């Protein structure tokens, strides 16, 4: 049997690091494949096993030393004697992402552990944390719970290569002190901002950072509080602390408008993700220039501000997502114009489309010659007082697709309420002949449920065009059950 070099085998298996089913299959091939797969599977075990918390908890507890089990028995944890012996492979040593949020959840919801008192559970927590934080482990990613109050002995060793940290503004001083030196090489920060009782020590961490290039501000949503209720003084100091990183900032994500005009400092920003809600004012987007911006994802942001933002980019945008906001005809036209005029390198686009603006939309397909995939939300669910609805000209849109789009364009995702006729789909597929095979998704959103018969009709027609090489893959799904991401047409574990 042909034997793969170990490094080559690792690189091959690593390609499936997000496909749990494939990784589980690799474990069963032979001893070499198993030993190669385990470090990949356990690099970030939390993303695979949270739905099987009990099993993961058992594996973690099996790493406890006999001495620790004897000590814990004094606090009533007799069940530990029934845990399997320590495994031959040190799974925890393979872990590179330490998610203490997930770890605390696993411990405190376990059927055997949850009945114990809070004090006893904390004793067990300390023993488990020692399994992860010691001189033998190395972590690149760290997630800290908001009310985490444990000392972190040995942190200078296991966190010496830390690149990412998720932390709350509520974090206790003793934890922040232990992170002062460890935070300096951190490149990516995910900060959960509480309503009040924010610790200003976080600001010192950010100011002392040497390599920070990515920030995600997550505002804690608290029922009954408006945007005005949050600690503006802290927010102001926080935003001021990241201005010194303005020239090096490459990724920025925020879920409420900044207090200061910090975005204007991010002159080399490559990724901007912004989301809002009713009552937020995004006028801060009007007076900024982001010449190197490549990815823009916006949810519930007024179109007029997004159009200005796109107009002030330097033509480098390759991916745009505009979600969570309904466009009237005028807004739809404005945003479409900004895209076809300012985004010549665009590869992926998610946008709402109105019937009145199909001719403007065609200019995106003509001008954006690198367009690879399109996620189109069709606005055709408006009903008038007399019961009639707006008619969407599917035939015109389909004709625009096959006549005006660049040759490399072949990924289409359509979300709609009122579907197109089979004859329209047939004409579209006929017109697509001679082009690269389609990856096509049709996603139905409807208040009265998923039309199974409609999906069957589409599938029967598509089969004929699959056999002719016109369609490569087709999915018809109900919106609420659609498992695919915005720009995902084929899943890694899909056959």
| Residue pLDDT, tens place only, 217-272 | 999 875 444 555 567 889 999 999 999 999 999 999 999 999 888 999 999 999 99
Q: Which residues contact 375 (CB under 8 A, 6 or more apart)?
A: 321, 348, 349, 350, 351, 413, 415, 486, 487
Output the CA torsion sign for 80, 82, 85, 89.
negative
pLDDT of residue 494: 43
CA distance 339 to 306: 10
Residue pLDDT, tens place only, 10-33: 787 777 777 777 877 777 788 877
472: three-class secondary structure by DSSP:
strand
What element of type H or E holds 352?
A: strand 348-353
pLDDT of residue 1: 45
Q: What is the mean pLDDT of residues 380-402?
A: 75
Q: pLDDT band at 135, cuts 50/70/90?
A: confident
Q: Name the residue with tokens 């490559």.
A: 270
410: three-class secondary structure by DSSP:
coil
Q: Name the residue with tokens 């709402």.
A: 352
């Amino acid at each position: 049997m042909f034997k793969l070099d170990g490094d080559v085998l690792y690189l091959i298996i690593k390609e499936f690091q997000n496909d749990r089913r494939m990784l589980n299959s690799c474990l069963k091939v032979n001893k070499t494949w198993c030993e190669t797969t385990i470090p990949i599977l356990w690099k970030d075990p939390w993303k695979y096993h949270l739905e099987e918390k009990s099993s993961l908890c058992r594996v973690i507890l099996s790493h406890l030393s006999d001495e620790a089990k004897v000590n814990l028995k004094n606090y009533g944890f007799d069940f530990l004697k029934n845990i399997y012996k320590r495994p031959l492979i040190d799974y925890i040593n393979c872990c590179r992402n330490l998610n203490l949020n997930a770890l605390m959840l696993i411990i405190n919801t376990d059927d055997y552990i949850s009945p114990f008192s809070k004090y006893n559970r904390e004793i067990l927590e300390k023993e488990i944390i020692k399994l992860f934080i010691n001189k033998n482990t190395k972590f690149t990613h760290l997630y800290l719970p908001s009310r985490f109050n444990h000392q972190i002995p040995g942190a200078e060793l296991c966190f010496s290569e830390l690149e990412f940290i998720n932390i709350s503004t509520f974090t206790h001083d003793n934890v922040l002190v232990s992170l002062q030196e460890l935070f300096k090489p951190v490149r990516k920060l995910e900060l959960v901002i509480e309503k009040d009782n924010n610790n200003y020590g976080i600001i010192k961490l950010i100011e002392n950072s040497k390599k920070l290039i990515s920030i995600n501000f997550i505002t804690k949503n608290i029922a009954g509080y408006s945007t005005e209720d949050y600690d503006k003084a802290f927010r102001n100091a926080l935003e001021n602390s990241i201005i010194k990183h303005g020239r090096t900032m490459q990724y920025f994500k925020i879920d409420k408008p900044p207090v200061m005009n910090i975005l204007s400092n991010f002159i080399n920003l490559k990724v901007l993700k912004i989301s809002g809600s009713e009552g937020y004012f995004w006028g801060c987007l009007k007076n900024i220039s982001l010449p190197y911006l490549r990815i823009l994802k916006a949810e519930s942001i007024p179109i007029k501000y997004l159009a200005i933002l796109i107009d002030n980019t330097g033509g480098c945008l390759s991916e745009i997502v505009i979600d969570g906001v309904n466009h009237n005809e005028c807004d739809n036209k404005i945003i479409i114009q900004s895209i076809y005029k300012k985004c010549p390198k665009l590869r992926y686009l998610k946008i709402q489309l109105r019937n009145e603006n199909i001719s403007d939309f065609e200019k995106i397909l003509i001008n954006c010659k690198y367009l690879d995939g399109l996620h189109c939300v069709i606005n055709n669910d408006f009903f008038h007082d007399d019961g009639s609805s707006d008619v969407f000209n599917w035939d015109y849109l389909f004709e625009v697709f096959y006549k005006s789009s660049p040759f490399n364009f072949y990924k289409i995702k359509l979300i709609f309420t009122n579907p197109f006729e089979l004859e329209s789909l047939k004409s579209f597929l006929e017109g697509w002949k001679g082009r690269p095979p389609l990856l096509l998704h049709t996603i139905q959103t409807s208040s009265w449920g998923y039309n199974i018969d409609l999906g069957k009709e589409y599938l029967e027609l598509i089969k004929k065009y699959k056999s002719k090489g016109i369609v490569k893959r087709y999915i018809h799904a109900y919106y609420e059950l659609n498992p695919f991401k915005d720009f995902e047409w084929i899943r890694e574990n899909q056959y």
